[in-house]
Amino acid sequence: MRLLILALAAFTLPAGADEMSGAEVYASTCHECHAGGKDNAPKFGDASRWKKLIREGLDDIVPEALHGVRKMPAKGGNPNLSDLEVARGVIYMANAGGGKFAEPTPAQVEKWRKKANAKRR
Ligand code: HEC
């Protein structure tokens, strides 16, 4: 009975509530390269570097983070992250570099996934 209640509770939570926040995603995965700027990764908090990426916009940079770009592996090399979590990680870093992006909507995340899939393998 208790198990059933737990299972029901899991289903009734709003979508994404069990997923990590941007800060948690950053600490778990992105920090490894973006804290120190490994392989020329845009460094966390480096506003001059993030300014250009912020201007490109989330529609460009989230699909790159999902798909991977040069030495940046797809999803930061952590396939356990959901697309929403990767997007939150991007937003967390972009906002630390001067951006003002809000929590993404499910429709945005879906669009970014389509853009990532359309990229050359
Ligand atoms: C193994 C190292 C590594 C990890 C881990 C990593 N990145 Fe990166 N990331 C890079 C490198 C290197 C670049 C620069 C790529 C380039 O432009 O050549 C980059 C670039 C980016 C960019 C800019 C993409 C663009 O359009 O130029 C975003 C956004 C990004 N990373 C997000 C993330 C997020 C979110 C995570 C965590 C989920 C993450 N990265 C984890 C190495 C990493």
Which CATH number does 19-117 carry? 1.10.760.10
For each of the chain's 121 residues, which pLDDT tens digit applies? 565 555 555 555 555 568 999 999 999 999 999 999 999 999 999 999 999 999 999 999 999 999 999 999 999 999 999 999 999 999 999 999 999 999 999 999 999 999 999 998 6
C-alpha distance across the termini of the chain, in Å: 47
Contact 47, 54 (CB under 8 A): no
The amino acid sitting at 8 is L
Per-residue confidence (pLDDT) for residue 120, from 0 to 100: 80
Pocket of ligand 1 (CB under 6 A): 25, 29-30, 32-34, 38-42, 53, 60-61, 64-65, 69-73, 75-77, 81, 86, 89-90
Distance CA 112, CA 83 (A): 8
Per-residue confidence (pLDDT) for residue 91, from 0 to 100: 98
Q: How far is the CA of 43 from the centre of ligand 1 (A)?
A: 9
